[in-house]
Amino acid sequence: MREALLAELGALATYRRLARRTGDESLRPLLQAFYRDELRQIARLRDVMRALGGNPRRKSLRRLLAARMLSLSARLYGPRFALRVCMEAERSVSRWYARYAHVLARIGELDAARHCAELSAQKRRHAAALQTWVDLIE
């Protein structure tokens, strides 16, 4: 779950930066909504990790720097590449959460499994919305 938390921290920083820098008035609200979703995702994941005895991180400098680089690429080349990277990351993390849910359910941690399944579903929704934008942008 540590890797998922790092990915969420990276997504948080990325969506915040992309929302600030996009010139597309119809894309900005989506990215702002994703930023708010990430705040909730991180809080829920940290709660699950603590309930399972973990000590979740608060931040990641490396993920912040990666978000800056991705945001810079969007400014230089347009948003399509950055949105595609975000879409693929959302898909990957969704699969991770689905696996966590399966394992947690098997060992009897049903509350944590339910939370992970919900986190997975949110990531799938993000990926689907991003796929639409990737397909629309030339």
Q: What is the pLDDT of residues 15-69, one digit of tens each?
A: 999 999 888 899 999 999 999 999 999 999 999 999 999 999 888 888 889 888 8
pTM: 0.91
DSSP label of 124: H
- Integer Cα distance of 19 and 103 in angstroms: 35
Question: What pLDDT digit, counting tens, does each position of 72-124 carry?
Answer: 888 888 899 999 999 999 999 999 999 999 999 999 999 999 999 999 999 99
Two structure tokens written together for 23? 């010139």
